Amino acid sequence: MDAAPEKKPMPSPGSAISIRDASVYYDTYPALLKTNLDVERGQFVTIVGPNGGGKTTVFKLILGLVKPRSGSVRVLGMPPEAARTSLGYVPQNSSFDPLFPVRVSDIVRMGFLGSAYYPGFRNREETRARVLECLHDVGLEDRVDAWFNSLSGGQKQRVLIARALAGAPEVLLLDEPTSNIDLHAEEMILDMLERLRGKLTVLLVTHYPKVAMRFLDRVYCVNRNVHIHPHTEKMDEDLMRHITGMAPPAVFGTTGGGSEHA
């Protein structure tokens, strides 16, 4: 008689993201292999890894934009497609036609579309109040009526974060939010992210160890599968190895596509 199949661990009641043995292929290219990842509600976690290692693919799994060839993905206890109205997303690159006349308030209002929060708006005043609230969170309420393309790169990035916050998401996904901006703008964004700690679940993709060390409950190192670093004070060397694509340290195992450095 065949042995009973091994039972997979179930997501905890407090689980925001649960990925189990997920493999993703683009045609024949393996982007992720038997990946396991768990994020509890309210955690602030950082995802690092080399270019092409699968960091953005993890976000696509969570957003339901790609389906795993094998394994499972649950977001807030639901299939990713059902959870989209509870997610906020800031992509790595957002482009807007510089000749298109769009104001900061218009960009933020885009975040209401498809969100669970939008049906609660009853009038223009309530909508504007919510826009101002989100811009206040990123320190730009005084630019609510400015033309978007008059802003600096760092200001534009903060407006895009406000757009992601507009729908009152339970989970916020940030893909390289500090790339291609100056140091002053980077520090302002990092200070703003600090204020989000504990208010919602945040997943942040970054190439910068300084950012990873400052904002985390855990660091997930993604290079086709996942290696987990709890927050310790001796992880800089391990982080650099993962970010630059070097082989993981010998203390890491690969149990079920994920491992933990104690």
pLDDT tens digits, 34-87: 999 999 999 888 888 888 888 999 999 999 999 999 999 999 999 999 999 999
Query: Which residue, chain included where needed, has tokens 């200070």?
Result: 191
Structure tokens at 87: 């997610």
CA distance 40 to 20: 14
Q: What are phi and psi of 146, to 5 degrees?
A: -75, 155
pLDDT of residue 228: 67
Q: What is the pTM of this model?
A: 0.79
CA distance 75 to 38: 10
Question: Per-residue pLDDT tens for 72-122?
Answer: 999 999 999 999 999 999 988 666 777 788 999 999 999 988 766 665 556
CA distance 102 to 96: 9
Residue 206 is classified by DSSP as -
Residue type, 175: D
Query: What residue segments make up the domains of the chain, in order of their start?
Result: 15-260
pLDDT of residue 120: 58
Reported CATH class of domain 15-260: alpha beta
